[in-house]
Chains A and B, each alone.
Chain A
Amino acid sequence: DAKTTQPTSMDCAEGRAANLPCNHSTISGNEYVYWYRQIHSQGPQYIIHGLKNNETNEMASLIITEDRKSSTLILPHATLRDTAVYYCIVRTQGGSEKLVFGKGTKLTVNP
């Protein structure tokens, strides 16, 4: 599975959109981009995933560039409860199920 690069930390004001970038320049054509988050010391929580089209669900939007070498997770109206570590992962659907997590981005939402 391709590796990902994320900023170590980011800040966002409450009520504003949080845009979390992820670089995956070596992604293969059949690899999906997944996002998880971990709030404090809880177990990680799935957010969203996509292949090449932009995706949206009740939690977030995922924007993948046309060349698929990078993506952005968007939390449209960040709240204090969105303060967490966000992990960007790429994996092949139908391939190995093991997900390799990096260190992620620590997002702090400020009042």
Chain B
Amino acid sequence: NAGVTQTPKFQVLKTGQSMTLQCAQDMNHEYMSWYRQDPGMGLRLIHYSVGAGITDQGEVPNGYNVSRSTTEDFPLRLLSAAPSQTSVYFCASSRGHGNTGELFFGEGSRLTVL
């Protein structure tokens, strides 16, 4: 198993550009989520999904869109990037509702918006 795979690992954008951060897991996990982490801060939840076709907002959803068309994939879209979205983004998955809740994280995607 590859676990949780995030691409790209590094990205530089200009203000106003759009892009998609990809996240894929091969563990058949129902639950997937996206976090962002800024310097000196803990992780803040952006969006999450409890299964294919179901998504919901976390703590800091503004400026981001998600969709969950398959169990394996949970892409995060930035429609119009802003410097405030410069951050490290982590995708995570777990077996889902009612289980122990152990989250498996990807290695992160480092985004810089100029």
Task: Determine the distance from Cα of A102 to Cα of B104 in the docked complex, in whole angstroms.
Answer: 18
Q: How many residues of B contact A (CB 8 A)?
A: 31
Chain A residue numbers with a CB within 8 Å of B108 are 41-43
- Residue contact B101 to A101, C-beta cutoff 8 Å: no
Contact with B along A13-55 (1 / 0, CB 8 A): 0000000000000000000101010000111111001000000
Beta-carbon nearest neighbor of B35 in chain A = A101
Chain A: interface size category: 20 to 34
- Residue contact B101 to A87, C-beta cutoff 8 Å: no
Q: Given that A97-B48, A97-B50, A98-B58 are contacting pairs, would A45 and B105 also be in contact in the complex, using a CB cutoff of 8 Å?
A: yes
Chain B residue numbers with a CB within 8 Å of A97 are 31, 33, 48, 50, 94, 96-97, 101
Task: Determine the distance from Cα of A32 to Cα of B101 in the docked complex, in whole angstroms.
Answer: 10
Contact with A along B78-114 (1 / 0, CB 8 A): 0000000000101010101111111111111000000
Question: In residues 44-92 of chain A, which contact B (Cβ within 8 Å)?
Answer: 44-46, 49, 87, 91
Chain B proximity of A6: nearest CB distance (Å): 10
**Could you count the A-B residue pairs with CB atoms below 8 Å apart for me: how many are there?**
61
Chain B proximity of A17: nearest CB distance (Å): 24
Beta-carbon nearest neighbor of A93 in chain B = B101
Per a CB cutoff under 8 Å, which of A32, A46, A103 touches B42?
A: A103
Q: Given that A97-B48, A97-B50 are contacting pairs, would A43 and B105 also be in contact in the complex, using a CB cutoff of 8 Å?
A: yes
Task: Determine the distance from Cα of A105 to Cα of B45 in the docked complex, in whole angstroms.
Answer: 19
- Residue contact A94 to B42, C-beta cutoff 8 Å: no
- Residue contact B88 to A41, C-beta cutoff 8 Å: yes
Contact with A along B1-32 (1 / 0, CB 8 A): 00010000000000000000000000000010
Q: Given that A94-B97, A97-B31, A97-B97 are contacting pairs, would A49 and B102 also be in contact in the complex, using a CB cutoff of 8 Å?
A: yes
The 3 A-B residue pairs with the shortest CB-CB distance in the complex, in nearest-first order: A43-B105, A101-B43, A101-B42
